[in-house]
Chain A
Amino acid sequence: MNSCLLCEKPLDDQPTWQQFLGIEKQTSTCPVCLAKFERIDSITKNDQLGSIYSLYAYNEQAREYLHQFKFLQDIALAYVFASDLRSVLIDPKKIIVPIPMHPASKKRRTFAQVDALLEAAGIPFQELLQKTTESVMGEKTRSERLAIIELFTASADIISNEKIYVLVDDIYTTGTTMHHAAHTLKQAGAERVEAVTLFRATGKK
């Protein structure tokens, strides 16, 4: 029996004809759990990024979700947002670039969460960035964050400039990570860089 990834309750998985025809993917999460996420579709921009698009607010449900996904290493939860991410990111004009993890952190977690989200959604992506330091942004003060010169390096020069490069991360908090990643991509030759994150922490410091 199919059960909800978050609450374990059995799903009413009466196959609909849409699923039968392959138009709609089978659900993995029950409507009750999904309703606890707060959809915001927030779009902002800054000097580096043409747009920063966040799908959901970082509320209690989001906090629990990320805890289970990242801290408890429950990679199965990557499927919860598969169709949401697909509808936003499948676009032939876009090249999807996940915010990378440092190889050592990735080994410890056993998977890179952004790659897992994209793979679950069946979204092709290019690993154009590499992380240079193992440290985490949240542990630093603002001046320390800005002082780090290169957080990422680009693994190749960017040639196809008619494409839009879309950086993807699980959560947008201070914006420093995105800022650095966009900067590195632009240095490597990208002209248009945008960002998509699953969650956005509102009420910034």
Chain B
Amino acid sequence: MAGVTAKMTWHGTHFMCRRCLNEDQSKFTSFQCAQCETTCAYCRNCLKMGRVSRCSELLIWTGQAPIYPTEHRMNWQGNLTPAQQKATNELLDSTKQSISHLLYAVCGSGKTEMLFKPIHHLLNEGKRVCLAAPRVDVILELLPRLKIAFPDTVIEALYGGAEVERFDAQLILATTHQLYRFQEAFDAVFVDEADAFPYTADETLQQAVRKAAKANAPIHFVTATPSAQLLAMNKKNGNISILARRYHGKPLPEPRNETLWNYEKQIKKKRIPKKLLNWTKERLDKQQPFLIFFHQIELMELAEPLFQQLDDRICAVHAEHADRKERVQLLRKKEVPGLLTTTILERGITIPNVQVAVIGAEQKIFNKGALIQIGGRVGRSVPNTSGDFVLFHQGITNAMDEAKQEIRKLNKQGDPLL
């Protein structure tokens, strides 16, 4: 089967990638091919996995799935709150009925634990399960927890650059991009962090999830910030559980807006804007760990030396930094007082008593979901169940308003303990 197929339409040739199902025509490049000696085309959407073109054969993992064992130990004695218990049972019911389920759970509500029971049920039926997440971080964070929870089960993690031995493992953890490798392979797929920042909705990825699952397999979504589309889809054809309270039962911190004019200009002139300077000094004085979010790496790197004049241990991290994880650990251990960052960092990690500021909250990249995720860092653990969550901005956007409303709404829903 050719990797890229073409059909003629009124508007000209319409390409489709058989591997990643991309149909965005801007992601195909046509060229005079020396291999097939015609005008050929290839897909740039999944290029990193090796190029597929009109004249290349597509390789998909089609090996016969083995008969999987039906006895799996679950090594997990954690306690679920009544609300978590209810959600996990609802998810289990949907799984048994093969109905898609949306687990809408606020940041810090202990989402992973709620998946254990349904996954265990599937494994014991000899079924093949995939847990997909948009980013490698999340996969690497989940892998050890699942290996502990299911000590007898063959588990394999697939992400860019991973050494894969067991493509046929019964429980597969995969970045959403790796799902392109599978076709009708899974009896159930759980998509974690379905609206993760900086991951934005990508239709081809959703199709890849659909393609990787067997025809009637349920596809479950787990997220703290479901898109309107995802909510509507599950209202219509699926089930929804909402966990509006964190496991400690305290409300989510609401963001507070503060104007910060010309912050870019000031930072370029090697000055930390006054309000931001005071905010940072206050954190240092009170010895509260902090995270400062920037919309752009360049601006953050300009700001880094300025913050280091306040405390030389302050440093910047972004998604591409190799020692990102170590730096986050240093913040947890209070060996650095605060970090500047352009990324949400390890989602599962709780930094006790962390305070959060967003610089340039009006920037497009800080959409509603991103802001809710960022705020979700604050107040995750006892006894520091709240903290400052400040949005420094040059004009309030709809996204900022909507994030605040959503957090209020959830806090209200969570009030009469579920």
Contacts and interface: CB of A to CB of B under 8 A. Distances in A.
Contacts of A76: 29, 44
Contacts of B50: 72
A75 B34 contact: no
Contacts of B47: 68, 72, 74
A72 B31 contact: no
A2 to B, nearest CB: 8
B353 to A, nearest CB: 34
A74 B298 contact: no
A192 B29 CA distance: 37
A75 B29 contact: yes
Contact of A106 (B34, B40, B55): B34
B34 A110 contact: yes
Contact of B42 (A2, A73, A108, A109): A73
A141 to B, nearest CB: 30
A107 interface: yes
A136 B187 CA distance: 49
A73 B50 CA distance: 9
Contacts of B48: 72
B32 to A, nearest CB: 7
B22 interface: no
B237 interface: no
Contact of B34 (A1, A72, A112): A112
A107 B34 contact: yes
Contacts of A112: 34
Interface string A15-48: 0000000000000000010000000000000000
B35 A110 contact: yes
Interface string B20-62: 0000001001011111000010101001101101010000000
Contacts of B298: 32
Interface in A64-117: 68, 72-76, 106-112, 116
Contacts of A110: 31, 33-35, 40, 53, 55
A107 B35 contact: yes
A107 B34 CA distance: 5
Contacts of B42: 73, 75
A32 B298 CA distance: 9
A153 B130 CA distance: 57
Contacts of A106: 34
B63 to A, nearest CB: 26
Given A109-B34, A110-B34, A111-B34, A72 B29 contact: no
B322 to A, nearest CB: 13
Given A110-B40, A110-B53, A75 B31 contact: yes
Interface string B70-111: 000000000000000000000000000000000000000000
Contacts of A75: 29, 31, 42
A119 to B, nearest CB: 9
A32 B50 CA distance: 25
Given A1-B26, A32-B298, A110-B53, A74 B35 contact: no
A28 B34 CA distance: 25
A109 B48 CA distance: 16
B44 A74 contact: yes
A68 B50 CA distance: 10
Nearest to B37: A107
B51 A74 contact: yes
B354 to A, nearest CB: 28
Interface in A105-138: 106-112, 116
B369 to A, nearest CB: 18
A196 B51 CA distance: 29
A112 B32 CA distance: 10
Given A1-B26, A32-B298, A72 B35 contact: no
B98 to A, nearest CB: 36
Contacts of A111: 31-34
A73 B51 contact: yes
A68 B42 CA distance: 14
Nearest to A68: B47
Interface in B114-172: none
A14 B282 CA distance: 41
A75 B32 CA distance: 10
Interface of B: 26, 29, 31-35, 40, 42, 44, 47-48, 50-51, 53, 55, 297-298
Closest 5 CB pairs of A and B: A76-B29, A110-B35, A73-B51, A75-B31, A106-B34
Given A1-B26, A110-B35, 4 more contacts: A76-B44, A107-B35, A111-B32, A116-B31
22 contacts: A2-B26, A32-B297, A32-B298, A72-B47, A72-B50, A73-B42, A74-B44, A74-B47, A74-B51, A75-B29, A75-B31, A76-B29, A76-B44, A106-B34, A108-B35, A109-B34, A110-B31, A110-B33, A110-B34, A110-B55, A111-B33, A112-B34
Interface of A: 1-3, 32, 68, 72-76, 106-112, 116
